[in-house]
Structure formats: C-alpha cells, structure tokens
Amino acid sequence: MAAAGGAHWSSRFAFLMASVGFAVGLGNIWRFPYVTGENGGGAFVIIYLGCAILIGVPVLMAELLIGRRGQASPPASMANVAIENKRSPSWKIVGAMGLLAAYTIEIVYAGVVGWVLWYLFKALTTGFAGVDAAAAQATFSGVLQDNVGMLFWTLIGLAITGLIIYSGVKQGIERAVNIMMPLMFMLLLGLAVFNYFNGGFAEAIDWLFTPDFSKIGAATVLAAIGQAFFSIGVGMGGMMTYGSYLPRSISISQSVLIIVFADTLVALLAGLVIFPAVFNNGLDPAAGAGLIFQTLPVAFAQMPGGYVFAVMFFLMLSVAGITSMVGLVEAVNHWAEERFGIPRHRSALIVVGSIAVFSIVSLMSYNVIGDVSMGGLNFNDIMDYFSNQILLPLGGLLIAVFAGWAVTREVTQDELAPIAGWAYTLWRFLIRYVVPPALLIIFIMGVSE
C-alpha cells in the first residue's frame, strides 16, 4: 500500500526539518532547561543524552522503519508490517493509540499555541513596556478569562496549521518547514548572542552545564528517561506518518541521530535564551509553565532592546508551536484521508474543524467549566493524563515490543540499511531488552502518581 497520494519527501533536508519541527515543541523549549537546572545541570545533561541514545533513538528508529515499511497511516502501517511478518493485524491498535494521543494532545496544545500567538501580538504592539510582576500576572489571568480572545488566537493557529496540511506534503509541509525551521534556529542563535552581551549569560551557563552530581539519584534518572522519551516526539503517530513519506534512499539511522542531536541542541539553546534574561533580572528560574507568560514579560520590560527581544522570542515560540501542530494534525489527517477515501483538502478541513470544536471545551476549562471535574481532574487535566501518562509510554512500549520481537531481523535490518553490523546489533538489543522495561517504569510511575 502506497503512502496517501504517493507522497514522499523530496529531500532529506525537508524530512529532517519536518521531524525536528515536530519534535521541538513549546513544552520542551521551556521544560528541558528548567528540568536540567533543577536536576544537577551538566550531570543531568550527560544522563539525558545517555537516555536519549539508549531509549529515544531506538524507539524513533522503530517508528520510522515501521512507517516506511508499512507505507500508510500508523494503524495501517502497523497492520501491513504485522501481516508481512505473519503476525496478527490487530497490532494496528498500537498505531491507533498513537493517533488518539496526537488528537488529544492537539486539543489542549492548540489553545497554548493560541496564547503564544496572542503574546506575539502583544509583543508587537506594546513590547511589554512598563510591565512589572503584578501586571504580568494580571495580564495572563486576563488572557485565561477571555474566552473570545483565546478562541480567536487558537483558531488563527489552527488556520495556519490547516493551510499547511491542506496544501500537501511537498507544497505545504515541506515548503513551510524549509522556511520556518531555519528561521527558528536563526532566531534562537540571535537571541542567545543578544543575551551574551546583555548579561546573565554566565549564570545561565552555570545553571545548565555545571555538573552537580549530589543531585543525581533515582528520581533524576527517571526524569531523564521521561524527558528523553517525550521530547523526541515518539508515540504520537507523527514520526510514523513522516516515516511513510521517507524514500528508501534516506538512511533512517543517520537521520535519527541528527534529529535527536538537533532536538537537544534547540532545548539547550532555549536555555541560553530564557535563563540569562531570568537571572539578569532577578526572576525565578523555577517558574515552570508560567515562565513564558508571567516571568519573561517582566524581563522584556526591564532589558535594553526588550521590544526586539520579545518579538523575536514569541516569533520563535510561534514557529515551534506551529511545526509541532503540523506533525500532530498530519498524522490524524493522513489516517482520515486513507480510511475514508477522501481528498486531502476535505480531510484537512474535517480534522482541523473537529479539533477547533473540542478546543472550545479546553479553553473553557481555564474558567467557566474549570470546576467541573472527574476524579479531581478537569477536562484539560484528563486529556493531559490520558495522553502523557497512559497513551504515550504504553504506545512507545508496544512499538518497541513489536519492532524488537514481532518483526523479523531481516525486515528491520533491511529498513535500517546501510547500518553497521555492530550498530544494528546494539539497536536490536536496546529495542528488545532496555527500552521496554524503561518505558514500563515510566508507565507505572505515571499511572500511580
């Protein structure tokens, strides 16, 4: 079965830009530097890189090889590869779990990207001039109470994403990521250089890279495993979908190493963008999710050139948010196109339209229906728990079991060629014996919290 419409990436560069764009999201831009600083700085980075290589790389290779071998949407790719290897086509359920994870994540994520676009607009119009801590907090509280405003900017984000998907793999996704990802890298580098001359850079380097092995324990290792798995974007159907567009001439193993390296590099660069501004203005580096919307505007108001910095920063975040949304929506759209035999144009409108409808419930969970809960969790909490604590680790675990135990050595070796013999042996050992127990631990810890 061929990929929908016979679509394939026209170059490895386009594939890499799309994959890195999907992997690099808003969460990993603010969360990775923060988790790094809280867990021993450079010591955590070393452990994270180890986990990324031992867990993230093998699962990402497995997703891409299943997608390319199956040449279809995640459920159909899983079924196609299972049948080829004389296994039950019921493995398609694992692919469906990835799509469900992508869809539930997108419902909440679209609203957060809406906030980023709204703040980009605020940066362009005011530059956060004169904003202090109280004003920043009041502004963000006002955003969370303004359903019309949140919906407007959420729909803007979904419209941009939908237009990219609507235009197809080459005319839409490739064209967008070939412009947006180099732009994001340039903005990150520009902002980091700006910080180098503006102050706080030495403290940020110290926070991120000075090894503090006294903070290293079981909890730190678990945090590194979780960060390595979630930040690379596996288990969401996006990478498997992108794999189905991957020509045989492109090496999966080489591409995966580049994707993981770029994903980590972006996260560390983001730390050199965010934390110098935080330290230079005496702000709290442990502000978590509020860092972007409540802490940084205060820094922008105080720093020289704050207007330019704020605009560049939220433009960079907007690019990261949109490219991640494209990967999430494309996975579901590819399936809808294939499953119902409808043209891409129509499936894009249906998928994006349905996400827009559900996102209204997500946005109202910040105010009107915030107290409506089940088991102490509101709608957004349930979506987050279901996707991040259940679907992603369980899906990743089953993908590893499928690639390591259900698919033959000949098939995986053929898809991963040209890979050195020792490298293939290492991948097969990791995907069979290291990744499943690690992801099982993440799953058990997630559901027992």
pLDDT, tens digit (0-9, with 9 covering 90-100), for 88-137: 999 999 999 999 999 999 999 999 999 999 999 999 998 888 888 889 98
Determine the average pLDDT of the residues in 383-403.
93
Nearest Cα to Cα of residue 349 among 166, 104, 167: 166
- For 132-160, what is the mean pLDDT? 94
CA angle at residue 95 from 93 to 101, to 5 degrees?
100
For the entire predicted model, the pTM comes to 0.92
* Domain spanning 4-448, CATH class: mainly alpha
Q: What is the mean pLDDT of residues 347-369?
A: 95
Does residue 51 surpass a pLDDT of 70? yes
Mean per-residue pLDDT for 222-237? 86
State the chain's mean pLDDT as an integer: 91
Higher pLDDT, residue 442 or 85: 85
Residue 2 pLDDT exceeds 50 = no
Q: Provide, rounded to the nearest whole percent, the portion of the chain with pLDDT above 70.
A: 98
Q: Which residue has the higher pLDDT, 31 or 379?
A: 379
Task: Give bridge partners of residue 224 from the DSSP assignment.
Answer: none
pLDDT surpassing 50 at residue 284: yes
pLDDT at 3 over 90: no
Output the pLDDT for position 145: 95
Q: What angle do CA 32, 398, 430 make, to 5 degrees?
A: 70
Report d(CA 150, CA 111) in Å as an integer. Answer: 7
CA 22 to chain centre: 5
Compute the average pLDDT of residues 378-383: 92
Write down the pLDDT at residue 7: 81
Residue 374 burial (10 A CB sphere; 0-12, 13-18, 19+): exposed
Residue 1 has pLDDT above 60, yes or no: no
**Percent of the chain surpassing pLDDT 90:** 63
CB 436 within 8 A of CB 67: no
Query: Does residue 358 carry a pLDDT above 80?
Result: yes
- Show Cβ contacts of residue 13 under 8 Å, excluding neighbours closer than 6 positions: 178
In this structure, are residues 115 and 153 in contact, taking their beta carbons and an 8 Å threshold? yes
Q: What is the pLDDT of residue 255?
A: 95
- Bigger pLDDT: 434 vs 41: 434
Dist. CA 320–CA 338, nearest whole Å: 28
Domain boundaries defined on the chain: 4-448
